């Protein structure tokens, strides 16, 4: 039986506001001691009143506009009740039936450059929960600690329609979404730090059937790659269950990264009744058309537009431009380098092959490397002028990446400058030809790859520093 996967993603992104959602505590709690960013409001004390963070509303509506959503005129907050110890008040302030936005879409390009549209069901605003830390003491006693620093931080939820059909498309959707949030400056989009979290709903159905199968919800992925792998695993698992005559149980499953599997966490057969009701302590909101239009006018250049500009302004191929704009930091790095070294294709190629490789396949953050656009431009200039060859360039780049030293310094210190001096290279070439009579004979009998072998020998003797163009010419001249 051939199955078609149906995937929908829920993303929670912390907003980069100064203060929390309903109180004036600092929202940036990174590195702070537990329970130091708290006040009676976010601790859920009796008798306190929340007040709405206007910036958070602005950021949410900006995101919704960037995702082509409709913005209704009226909106409100609701209480979502559920019993869990990370909720200080016993409920979370969220949005139920009147969110800030609904019915948008985002364009996602696959690896083949083929574009598809993924629907956005809604973008709404809520507050983050406190963090629980589960501990086992020396007597084997289990207990939990609560850190409320995270409690009350503005949290935007972006719900996609079940339009995604492959795990890879899910990853590309997330990359595009992150790039949009970064371009807007509303979230860091950092998955490893937990400021950008993704839950995936996935089901499978026989190919050609309209009706959805029973879905499971997969949680605990902390990288884009993990989302793709978890979905691949879950789709395969569901197909095996169905092929074995079983049925899929609606449940939440957790991704276990080091084992590469999902495990059942809790059954959702009897869906939670969250008992939503309108938040009585906050007034309903009116989003005037003037205010919404003002935000729309102030939207910055978004990733799709920036990608298209990279094609028209720098002559990049579409797929290269897409890679150069998959995060704001990457795009800024590219443009910063091109300003100083005006060969955009060379910059893009180098970033894709060398920088991305060192950054764990492009999942690492360009903004966190020791290499700056100035430093890369300098390295590319040294290669362009012939001071070092491409092979040495890679070596120097790795050193720059690890130590943060400048290319010229590394070249000088390690004596890596390219050898273009013909007299010097002639001696080496003569030596190589004398010591490799078999390869010389092979070349003369028409075996072209013998030349590559001889080139390799010259490179070896010059520690990779010979100018390949000069060596090639010398070898061909000598071999006649």
CB of 197 to Zn ion, least distance (A): 22
Q: Are strands 261-267 and 277-278 parallel, antiparallel or unpaired?
A: unpaired
Tell which positions 28-87 bind Zn ion, by CB under 5 A. Answer: 39, 41-42
Residue 426, both tokens? 């002639």
CB of 152 to Zn ion, least distance (A): 6
CB of 417 to Zn ion, least distance (A): 59
Residue 153 binds Zn ion (CB under 5 A): no
Total of residues contacting Zn ion (CB under 5 A):
5
Applying CB under 5 A, among 6, 11, 13, 23 the residue interacting with Zn ion is 23
Instruction: Return the number of the residue (152 or 344) whose C-beta is nearest Zn ion.
Output: 152
Residue 177 binds Zn ion (CB under 5 A): no
CB of 378 to Zn ion, least distance (A): 47
Residue 400 binds Zn ion (CB under 5 A): no
Instruction: Return the number of the residue (19 or 182) whose C-beta is nearest Zn ion.
Output: 19
CB of 35 to Zn ion, least distance (A): 11
CB of 81 to Zn ion, least distance (A): 21
Q: Which stretch binds Zn ion (CB under 5 A): 22-30, 108-116, 226-234, 289-297?
A: 22-30
Instruction: Return the number of the residue (43 or 329) whose C-beta is nearest Zn ion.
Output: 43
Q: Which stretch binds Zn ion (CB under 5 A): 19-27, 107-115, 129-137, 373-381?
A: 19-27
Q: Which stretch binds Zn ion (CB under 5 A): 25-33, 163-171, 180-188, 235-243?
A: 25-33
Instruction: Return the number of the residue (39 or 455) whose C-beta is nearest Zn ion.
Output: 39
Instruction: Return the number of the residue (45 or 249) whose C-beta is nearest Zn ion.
Output: 45
Angle at 380 between CA 333 and CA 384, to 5 degrees: 150
Residue 323 binds Zn ion (CB under 5 A): no
Residue 191 binds Zn ion (CB under 5 A): no
Instruction: Return the number of the residue (53 or 228) whose C-beta is nearest Zn ion.
Output: 53
Residue 21 binds Zn ion (CB under 5 A): no
Residue 93 binds Zn ion (CB under 5 A): no
- Tell me the three-class secondary structure of the chain, residue by residue: CCEEEEEEEEEEEECCCCECCCCCCECCCCCCCCCCCCCCCCCCCCCCCCCCCHHHHHHHHHHHHHCCCECCCEECCEEEECCCCCCCCCEEEECCCCCCEEEEEEEEECCCCCEEEEEEEEEEEEECCCEEEEEECCCCCEEEEEECCCCCCEEEEEEECCCECCHHHHHHHHHHHHHHHHHHCCCCCCCCCCCEEEEEEEEEEECCCCCCCCCEEEECCCCHHHHHHHHHHHHHHHHHHHHCCCCCCCEEEEEECCCCEEEEEEECCCCCCCCCEECCCCCCEECCHHHHHHHHHCCCCCHHHHHHHHHHHHCCCHHHHHHHCCCHHHHHHHHHHHHHCCCHHHHHHHHHHHHHHHCCCCCCCHHHCCCCHHHHHHHHHHHHCCCCCHHHHHHHHHHHHHHCCCHHHHHHHHCCCCECCHHHHHHHHHHHHHHCHHHHHHHHCCCCHHHHHHHHHHHHHCCCCECHHHHHHHHHHHHC
Instruction: Return the number of the residue (22 or 356) whose C-beta is nearest Zn ion.
Output: 22
Instruction: Return the number of the residue (41 or 474) whose C-beta is nearest Zn ion.
Output: 41
Q: Which stretch binds Zn ion (CB under 5 A): 17-25, 63-71, 229-237, 338-346?
A: 17-25
Applying CB under 5 A, among 13, 25, 183, 439 the residue interacting with Zn ion is 25
Residue 324 binds Zn ion (CB under 5 A): no
Instruction: Return the number of the residue (9 or 25) whose C-beta is nearest Zn ion.
Output: 25
Site for Zn ion, rule CB under 5 A: 23, 25, 39, 41-42
């Amino acid at each position: 039986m051939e199955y078609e996967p149906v995937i929908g993603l829920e993303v929670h992104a912390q907003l980069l506001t100064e203060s929390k959602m309903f109180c004036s505590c600092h929202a940036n709690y990174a590195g702070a001691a537990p329970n130091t960013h708290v006040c009676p409001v976010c601790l859920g004390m009796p008798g306190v009143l929340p007040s709405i963070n206007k910036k958070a509303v602005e950021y949410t509506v900006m995101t919704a506009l960037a995702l082509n959503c409709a913005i209704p005129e009226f909106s409100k907050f609701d209480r979502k009740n559920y019993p869990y110890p990370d909720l200080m008040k016993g409920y979370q302030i969220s949005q139920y039936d009147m969110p800030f936005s609904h019915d948008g879409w985002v364009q996602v390009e696959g690896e083949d450059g083929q574009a598809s549209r993924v629907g956005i069901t809604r973008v709404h605003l809520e507050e983050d929960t406190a963090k629980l830390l589960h501990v086992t003491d020396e007597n084997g006693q289990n207990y939990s600690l609560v850190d409320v620093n995270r409690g009350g931080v503005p949290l935007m939820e972006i719900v996609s329609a079940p339009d995604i059909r492959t795990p890879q498309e899910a990853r590309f959707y997330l990359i595009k979404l992150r790039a949009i949030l970064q371009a807007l400056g509303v979230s860091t989009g950092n998955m490893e730090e937990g400021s950008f979290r993704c839950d995936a709903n996935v089901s499978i159905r026989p190919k050609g059937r309209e009706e959805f199968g029973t879905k499971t919800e997969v949680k605990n992925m902390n990288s884009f790659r993990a989302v793709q792998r978890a979905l691949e695993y879950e789709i395969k698992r569901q197909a095996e269950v169905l092929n074995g005559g079983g049925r899929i149980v609606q449940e939440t499953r957790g991704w276990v990264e080091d084992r590469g599997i999902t495990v059942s966490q809790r059954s959702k057969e009897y869906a939670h009744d969250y008992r939503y009701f309108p938040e009585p302590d906050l007034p309903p909101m009116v989003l005037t058309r003037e205010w919404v239009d003002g935000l729309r006018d102030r939207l910055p250049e978004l990733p799709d537009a920036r990608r298209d500009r990279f094609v028209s302004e720098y002559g990049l191929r579409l797929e290269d431009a897409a890679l150069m704009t998959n995060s704001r930091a990457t795009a800024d790095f590219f443009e910063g380098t091109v300003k100083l070294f005006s060969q955009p294709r060379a910059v893009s190629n180098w970033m894709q092959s060398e920088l991305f490789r060192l950054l764990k396949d492009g999942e690492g953050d360009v903004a966190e490397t020791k290499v700056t656009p100035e430093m890369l431009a300098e390295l590319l200039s040294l290669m362009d002028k012939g001071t070092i060859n491409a092979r040495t360039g890679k070596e120097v780049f790795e050193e720059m990446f690890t130590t943060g030293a400048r290319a010229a310094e590394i070249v000088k210190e390690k004596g890596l400058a390219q050898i273009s001096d013909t007299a010097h290279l002639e001696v080496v070439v003569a030596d190589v030809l004398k010591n490799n009579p078999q390869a010389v004979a092979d070349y003369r009998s028409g075996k072209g790859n013998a030349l590559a072998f001889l080139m390799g020998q010259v490179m070896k003797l010059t520690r990779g520093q010979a100018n390949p163009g000069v060596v090639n010419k010398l070898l061909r001249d000598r071999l006649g």
